[in-house]
Amino acid sequence: MYFLRASAAKGFVLLLPVAYALVELRFRHRSWKDLGITKDGFVKGIIGNWHLFVIVVLVLQLLIPWASMLLWPEYLQHILARLPWFPSAGFAALFGFLGLTAFSTLIEELVFRGLIQERLGWFIPQGVAVVVASILFGIAHWAPGNPAVVLADIAGVVLDGMFFGLIYARTKSVVVCWVTHFLADIVGLLMLLTMVGL
């Protein structure tokens, strides 16, 4: 029940900046490209940032669940508890989860990279904008539990967010960040499920 209430609240909060971005498109006459939504340079963005892509999609998503299973099982259980899909729910739920993940990662990248990080970068150094947007991204993934575990979980999400932020700072493409984020979530989920034997 907690997950449904938290998801609804998070979804509502994330849709407010998206609504703001749409208002900017309409009334400030900004283009989709100004918001980082363009297919131009997608392949170049991935290739030019392959090292960041590999770290956040593969290394972190494989290493963190593996290390947590060996060293801190409570942390692994905390992460599993905030997932919206479980294998026992069947394949229909899996496809629903993939669709939800694709949509939610797009919204998160629009909000945290295309809107928050981009706007902060107008007023503060880009590195600071990456850090601030990543901290907000981590806080948005808060789930209740043991304070030490919750803090470690948020720190892991902040770390992922910093890689997404670096990729955005280098490409100015929400699309590149979105694909990276989506693949990282899928690899992370597969690793989690493999590690717990589901």
Task: Decide if 128 contacts 35 (C-beta within 8 A).
Answer: no
What count of residues does the chain have? 198
Residues near 184 by beta carbon (within 8 Å), at least 6 away in sequence: 56, 57, 60, 61, 160
pLDDT of residue 152: 92
Whole-number pLDDT of residue 52: 93
Q: Give the separation between CA 41 and CA 172, rounded to whole angstroms.
A: 10
Per-residue pLDDT tens digits for 128-170: 999 999 999 999 988 888 999 999 999 999 999 999 999 999 9
**Structural domains counted in the chain:** 1
Structural domain span for residue 87: 2-195
- 97-127 confidence digits (pLDDT tens): 788 888 889 889 988 998 899 989 999 999 9
pLDDT of the residue at 161: 96
Give 3's pLDDT tier (boundaries 50, 70, 90).
very low
pLDDT at 4 over 80: no
The amino acid sitting at 125 is: P
Residue 7 reports pLDDT greater than 60: no
C-alpha to C-alpha distance for 115 and 17, rounded to whole angstroms: 7
Contacts 24+ apart (CB under 8 A), 104-109: 104/11, 104/14, 105/178, 105/181, 105/182, 105/185, 106/174, 106/178, 106/182, 107/14, 107/15, 107/18, 108/14, 108/137, 108/140, 108/181, 109/164, 109/168, 109/174, 109/177, 109/178, 109/181
DSSP annotation of 145 reads S
CB atoms within 10 A of CB 125: 10
pLDDT in tens, 34-74: 666 666 677 888 888 999 999 999 999 988 888 888 888 89
Mean pLDDT of 175-184: 94
